[in-house]
Structure 1
Amino acid sequence: MVRAYVGVSGWRYPRWRGDFYPEGLVQRRELEYVAEQMTSVELNGSFYSLQRPTTYRRIAEQVPREFPVAVKGGRFVTHMKRLRDADQGLANFFASGVLTLGDRLGPFLWQLPADLAFDEEVVGGFLHRLPRDHAAVAELAARHDDKLSADRTVTEPVVDRPVRHALEPRHPSFGDPAAVRLLRDHGVALVASDSPGRWPCFDEDTADFRYVRLHGHTELYASGYAPRSLDRWAGRLRSWHAAGQDAYVYFDNDARGRAPYDAVSLLGRLARR
C-alpha cells in the first residue's frame, strides 16, 4: 500500500509546550501526542550521539505499529569521517538499538555537510556498505567495538523486512547526473531539502520512495509554510502516490513552533483529495 508519511523532525521542544502540546501534557507523552496527530516522525537526536536501546524501546512503546520512525544517521559517520573509513562507525550506530524499533523502523537519513562535494568512489563505497534489511543491520551491528557495553547494544533483528535509506547532500555537485545515477543504482532516495535558498533542493527520482525535509518557507528553521506552498507540496505528494511511491515528509521549521502545525495542515490537505 502506497502512503504519504508526514511528521516533524524531533518532538521535544520547550517552545511547543502549552502551544502545540496541550497545557499540562507531561513530557513523556509528547511523542504519543505527535503520533496521534501525524503519520510519522524523524528522530534527530541520533545524529548528535549514539542513543541507547532503552531510548528506542520507549519510542516503540509510544507509537502505533507501522508508524515509521525515520532515524537520522550519526554525524560521526557523515561529518567527522565524511563517509570515509566508516565501517566501525556504522557498526556502532546500528548496534545502538535501532533494531528495537522493529516494524516501526522507517528510513535512515544520512545528512551530509554542506562542503562535502560528490566523489563517486567515496559515496559509492558508503552506499555499498549500507544494510538493506533488518538481518543485514544485525550482521553489521554485531561488528561493534568495545566502546559499547553489552547493555548498550542490540544485535538481533525482531522482524524480517527491508530497510530504506535517504541521502541529504547539501553541495550542488550532487545534482550531477553521475551522482543521481549512483543513488539510483543503489536505490537510495535523494532528499528534496527545502531551505530558503541555503542549500540546493534536488528533485530527482532515485528510489522507490521519496524523502522530503522542509526547513522553513522563507526563514531557515523558523518560518511557517504559506497555504499555497502547502498546496503545492500536497500536489507533489499526490503525483508521487499516483506513480506508486511512498513519501516521507518532515518539517524542521521548529524554532518558532511552526513545524507541527504545518505537518497537520499538510495531512489535512491530503485527506481532502
Structure 2
Amino acid sequence: MIRIGTSGWRYPEWRDGFYRNVPQRRWLSHLAGHVTTIEINSSFYRLQPPSNYRKWATETPPDFTFAVKGPKLITHVKRLRHIDEPLKAFVDSLALGPKQGPLIWQLPPSMRFNPGVLKDFLAALPPGRHAVEPRHESFRTDAYFDLLRAHNVAHVVSDAPTFPCIEAVTADFAYVRLHGHDELYISSYDDRQLNEWARKILDWNRDTYVYFDNTMKGAATDNAQGLAQRLGMPITSHM
C-alpha cells in the first residue's frame, strides 16, 4: 500500500493554478480527487475540534487517508517532556474514523537526540502508526533507529536543503516528506529525482506514505501525481 499526497491543502498561492475556478470551500475535495492522502498541518498549531476532523472526513473519498501532525505544544514547547495531558487532549480530539492514518511528530531543529527523553515519549504514544521527523544531525545514530524499531515507529525520511536527510526505515511502514531539494518548500522535483524516489520506495517493499511539502509555488500536486505515475498508481480518486 503506497499513498502519495501533499502536506496540507489550504494554499492561496494555488488559487490561480491547481485550484483555478474551484471555490475555497471545495479545495479539500478537489485535491482529494487527485491524491490518495493528505497531511493535516493545522493540528500542529492548535488543537482542532473533533467536528473539523469529521467534516474533513466527509469531504474525501471512502478509501482516503489522512496523516495528522502532532501539536507543537508537545514537540517544540514541552520538547517531548511532561506531555501526558496535551497528548491525551490531542488524541481525544481525533475524529477521522477509518480515514485516520499515521500521526507525525516533527521535532525542532535545535533538539538533539536524547535517548531517555525519546524512549519515554515513544512509550507514552497510543496504539497506532506513528512517525518521528528529527531535524538535527545527532539523530543519525543506531541508538535512535533501535529505539524506533523497538516501538515500530517510523523514522521520517525528509528531503530538504536546511536539515539532514537521514535515510532509514525503522517500522513496518515508511514515511517520506519531500520539502523541496534545492529550495525549502519551493523547488520542484525533476524527472531524475522522482525516478530515484520511486526506486527507493519500491526497494523498501512496505506500506509507504509520501507527502510533498514543496507547496509555495504549487509544485507539490504535480510532483505527487508524477511520483504516483512512476509507481503505477492511479492519479485520481473517486468520491
User: TM-score band, normalised by the shorter chain?
Assistant: over 0.9
Match of 1:127 among 105, 108, 122: 122
| Superposed displacement of residue 38, structure 1 | 0.7
Secondary structure of the residue aligned to 2:146 is helix
Please name the residue that 1:252 is paired with: 213
Q: Could you tell me which residue of structure 2 aligns to residue 4 of structure 1?
A: 2
Structure 1 letter corresponding to 2:218:
G
Q: How does 1:46-195 map to 2 (within 5 A)?
A: 46-96=43-93, 98=94, 100-132=95-127, 163-195=128-160
Partners in 1 of 2:92 and 2:98 — Cα distance? 17
Q: Secondary structure at the match of 2:17?
A: coil
For 1:227 and 1:82, the matched residues in 2 are separated by: 38
Query: Quick check: 1:106–1:164 contact (8 Å CA) kept in 2?
Result: yes
Partner Cα distance (1:31, 1:264) in 2? 16
CA distance in 2, matches of 1:250, 1:92: 25
The answer as to 2:9 corresponding to 1:14 is: no
1:211 is matched by which residue type in structure 2? Y
Pick one of 26, 33, 37 that aligns with 2:23: 26
Aligned length: 233
What residue ranges of structure 2 are gaps of 5+ in the alignment? 234-239
Could you tell me how far apart the structure 1 residues matched to 2:48 and 2:222 are?
Answer: 27
Following TM superposition, the consecutive aligned residue runs of length 4 or more in structure 1 with deviations greater than 4 angstroms are none
The answer (yes or no) to whether the contact 1:190–1:204 under 8 Å persists in 2 is yes
Partners of 1:66 and 1:101 in 2: CA distance: 12
**Contact 1:217–1:226 (CA under 8 A) maintained in structure 2:** no
Q: Tell me the TM-score normalized by structure 2.
A: 0.95
CA distance in 2, matches of 1:25, 1:18: 9
What TM-score do you get using the length of structure 1 for normalisation? 0.83
Q: Residue 174 of structure 2 is aligned with which of 210, 229, 237?
A: 210
RMSD: 1.0
Q: Separation in 2 of the partners of 1:8 and 1:50?
A: 21
After TM superposition, the structure 1 = structure 2 runs for residues 37-48 of structure 1, keeping only pairs within 5 Å, are 37-48=34-45
Greater relative contact order, per chain length (Cα 8 Å cut-off, separation 6+): 2
Structure number with larger C-alpha Rg: 1
* Alpha-carbon shift at residue 175 of structure 1 (Å): 1.1
